[in-house]
Amino acid sequence: MSLSMPGPSQGGLFKPGYQSHDAEDGAVIRNIEACQAISKTVQTSLGPYGRNKIVINHLQKMILTSDAASILRELDVVHPAAKLLVMASQQQDAEMGDGTNMVIVLAGELLKKAEEVLRLGLKTSDIVQGYEKAQNFALKTLEELEVDRLQDLRSQEELTKALRTVVASKQSGTEDILASLVAEAVLSVLPKNPVNFNVDNVRVVKIMGGSLEHSRVIKGMVFGREPDGIVKKATKAKVGVFSCPIDVSQTETKGTVLLKNAEEMMNYSKGEEERLESAIKELHDSGLRVVVAGANVGDLAMHYLNRFNILVVKVLSKFELRRLCRVVGATPLARLGAPMPDEMGAVDVVETAEIGGDRVTVFRQEDVNSPTRTATIVLRGATQNHLEDVERAIDDGVNVVKAITKDPRLVPGAGATEIQLVERISAFADKTPGLPQHAIRKFAEAFEVIPRTLAESGGLDATEVLSRLYTAHQSKGSSEEPYWTTGVDLEHGSSEGTLDAVDEGILDLLASKSWAIRLASEAARTVLSVDQIIVARQAGGPKPPGPNPNWDED
Q: What are 398-451's pLDDT values in tens digits?
A: 888 888 888 778 888 777 888 888 888 888 888 877 777 888 888 888 888 888
The mean predicted confidence, pLDDT, of the chain is: 77
Confidence of residue 132 (pLDDT cuts 50, 70, 90): confident
CA within 13 Å, CB half, 91 = 16
Q: How high is the pLDDT of residue 479?
A: 46
Top-confidence range, 98-102, 250-254, 547-551: 98-102
Judged against a pLDDT cut of 70, whether residue 551 lies above it is answered with no
Question: Which of the two residues, 367 and 127, has the higher pLDDT score?
Answer: 127
CA distances from 344 to 283, 324, 349 (A): 11, 12, 15
DSSP E strand stretches across 442-491: 486-488
| 72-76, 97-101, 364-368: range with lowest mean pLDDT | 364-368
Judged against a pLDDT cut of 50, whether residue 217 lies above it is answered with yes
Judged against a pLDDT cut of 60, whether residue 554 lies above it is answered with no
Judged against a pLDDT cut of 60, whether residue 7 lies above it is answered with no
Q: How high is the pLDDT of residue 143?
A: 82
Neighbours of 290 (CB within 10 A): 24
Task: Kindly give, in sequence order, each residue whose CB lies less than 8 Å from that of residue 251, ignoring residues fewer than 6 positions away.
Answer: none
Q: How high is the pLDDT of residue 251?
A: 58
The type of residue at 348 is: D
Q: How high is the pLDDT of residue 540?
A: 66
User: Do the domains at 18-147+413-536 and 223-371 have one common CATH topology?
Assistant: no
C-alpha triplet 88, 93, 94: angle, nearest 5°: 95
Question: Which of the two residues, 419 and 200, has the higher pLDDT score?
Answer: 419
What percent of the chain has pLDDT above 90? 0
C-alpha triplet 385, 389, 393: angle, nearest 5°: 165
| 35-39, 146-150, 441-445: range with lowest mean pLDDT | 146-150
Confidence of residue 58 (pLDDT cuts 50, 70, 90): confident
Q: How high is the pLDDT of residue 96?
A: 78
**Cβ proximity of 508 and 407 under 8 Å:** no
Q: How high is the pLDDT of residue 478?
A: 47
- Domain residue ranges in the chain: 18-147+413-536, 223-371
Written out in words, the top-level CATH class of the domain with range 18-147+413-536 is: mainly alpha
Q: How high is the pLDDT of residue 4?
A: 45
Task: Report phi then psi at 393, rounded to 5.
Answer: -65, -40
Q: How high is the pLDDT of residue 553?
A: 61
- Section 373-382 average pLDDT: 81
Confidence of residue 3 (pLDDT cuts 50, 70, 90): very low
Confidence of residue 94 (pLDDT cuts 50, 70, 90): confident
**Cβ proximity of 241 and 294 under 8 Å:** yes
Task: Report phi then psi at 369, rounded to 5.
Answer: -95, 5
**Cβ proximity of 131 and 443 under 8 Å:** yes
Q: How high is the pLDDT of residue 323?
A: 79
Q: How high is the pLDDT of residue 413?
A: 77
- Section 172-176 average pLDDT: 75
Longest dimension (CA), the chain: 111
**Cβ proximity of 68 and 108 under 8 Å:** no
**Cβ proximity of 194 and 268 under 8 Å:** no
Confidence of residue 552 (pLDDT cuts 50, 70, 90): low
Length of the chain: 554
Q: How high is the pLDDT of residue 495?
A: 54
What percent of the chain has pLDDT above 70? 86
| 19-28, 368-377, 504-513, 530-539: range with lowest mean pLDDT | 19-28
Confidence of residue 2 (pLDDT cuts 50, 70, 90): very low
- Section 40-57 average pLDDT: 81
Judged against a pLDDT cut of 80, whether residue 512 lies above it is answered with yes
Q: How high is the pLDDT of residue 550?
A: 66
CATH topology for the 223-371 domain: GroEL (3.50.7)
| 102-116, 233-247, 340-354, 364-378: range with lowest mean pLDDT | 364-378
- Section 86-106 average pLDDT: 82
pLDDT one-digit tens code per residue, 348-372: 777 787 777 777 788 777 666 665 6
Judged against a pLDDT cut of 70, whether residue 522 lies above it is answered with yes
Q: How high is the pLDDT of residue 302?
A: 78
- Section 28-40 average pLDDT: 81
Q: At what angle do helices 100-119 and 27-43 cross, to 10 degrees?
A: 140
Confidence of residue 1 (pLDDT cuts 50, 70, 90): very low
